[in-house]
Amino acid sequence: MSLDSDLWWAVARSEEVTSEKPLSVDIGDQPVVLWRDNQGIARALEDRCPHRRAPLSLGCIRDNGWIQCGYHGWSYDGESGRLKEIPNMKDQQKFPPIYKANAFGVSEQGGFVRVCLNPKAEAPLRADPKYTYCGTVNVSCSHQEYLNALYDDPNLIISIRGVHFSSYLMSELHEEGGLLVMERNCQWHPLHWPSHFVAEFPLTLLTRTHPLTGETQLTLRDEQFNELLHAVLSPVPSARGVTAVRWRAELGVRHPGLRGAVLRGINPLSVLSSVDGTKLRVTKPTVSLHGEDLRNAMLEGSPVTNDQTVAA
């Protein structure tokens, strides 16, 4: 998958990146290793040792913050990717600059660690809150298929406890501030069986999506426009046609009654790790058709950068 090298991808939650064990992630077909150095700063290198191409994520993190390959023990600095030490060689040995792993840009904000394949790219200025509820799943569909499902029927890929996403839109998909914005009518799940058909839609789901990365802010609102839930979904294209989705969520205003109680609790939002193939096949492309045209028009009109990334 061809990717813009200047885009910033939320490849991990802050909790996933530690100084205890390297973390292996992908941005498309590019393998990346993440860890924290001895100052607690998140670092990212290409997940291949330049010596014998072994994955650095199979190695370890040294006390001085360097990452050490598990094959022959070569150690690399996280900031520059430079080779720092080879076992059985003198400590003062200097290595040519050619001996280095590719280093990537890293930015950590709002509980996400973002990586840019261009180490010189300027990190976007953000003021995101760090939402309490979080999770990571690997979804068995491509990045574009995931976004199409989010547009056409969110029930295929996400679940908010006590809420059903309808097929009807409150507002059509449109461009707003460099993002793809849409509002969908929703209903509370019936609390009894059999359920009666009702035409009222007391809830709406507002989504704001970056046209390239697909990073999406979700806001669930009631009929008084009280914000009941906030969430950020960060889908990243991964190897073998899989999409890795990291998400964070936070409950907003407390909704009264039993329905409000059902919504609240541990992890009100779930991202499904597998897509129901039967439901996906019969889901007609609706919003996604317009979304592709709108996205192309936005990209032709002006460059899209992460300065337009979702601000929660």
DSSP 52-112: T---GGGSEE-TTS-EE-TTT--EE-TTT-BEEE-TTS-TT----TTSBPPB-EEEEETTE
DSSP helix/strand/coil, 227: strand
Last residue of a domain, one of 66, 86, 116: 116
Last residue of a domain, one of 65, 88, 116: 116
Per-residue pLDDT, 310: 45
62 and 140 assigned to the same domain = no
Q: Is residue 305 part of a domain?
A: no
CATH code for the domain of 102: 2.102.10.10
| Beta-bridge partners for 61 | 67
Q: Domain range spanning residue 91?
A: 8-116
Average pLDDT, the chain: 87
Q: Is residue 308 part of a domain?
A: no
Element (H, E) at 248: strand 243-251
pLDDT tens-digit map of 62-89? 999 999 998 888 999 999 999 988 887 7
31 and 107 assigned to the same domain = yes
Domains in the chain, number = 2
Radius of gyration of the chain (CA): 22
Instruction: Decide if pLDDT at 127 tops 90.
Output: no
101 and 230 assigned to the same domain = no
Q: Is residue 210 part of a domain?
A: yes
Q: Is residue 126 part of a domain?
A: no
**In which band, very low, low, confident or very high, does the pLDDT at 308 lie, cut at 50, 70 and 90?**
very low
Q: Is residue 310 part of a domain?
A: no
52 and 193 assigned to the same domain = no
Instruction: Decide if pLDDT at 23 tops 80.
Output: yes
Q: Is residue 107 part of a domain?
A: yes
Q: Is residue 121 part of a domain?
A: no
CATH code for the domain of 166: 3.30.530
85 and 178 assigned to the same domain = no
pLDDT tens-digit map of 27-45? 999 999 999 999 999 999 9
108 and 178 assigned to the same domain = no
Per-residue pLDDT, 300: 77
Element (H, E) at 32: strand 30-36
Last residue of a domain, one of 116, 151, 167: 116
Count CA atoms closer than 13 A to 277's CA, side-chain side: 2
Distance in angstroms (rounded) separating the CA atoms of residues 57 and 30: 13
Mean pLDDT of the 208-212 span: 93
More confident residue, 270 or 275: 270
Q: Is residue 260 part of a domain?
A: yes
Residue 121 identity (one-letter amino acid): A
pLDDT tens-digit map of 169-203? 998 899 998 899 999 999 988 755 555 555 578 99
106 and 173 assigned to the same domain = no
Distance in angstroms (rounded) separating the CA atoms of residues 224 and 238: 40
DSSP helix/strand/coil, 277: helix
Choose among 48, 42, 38, 13: nearest CA to 123: 42
- Token pair for 222: 């009631």
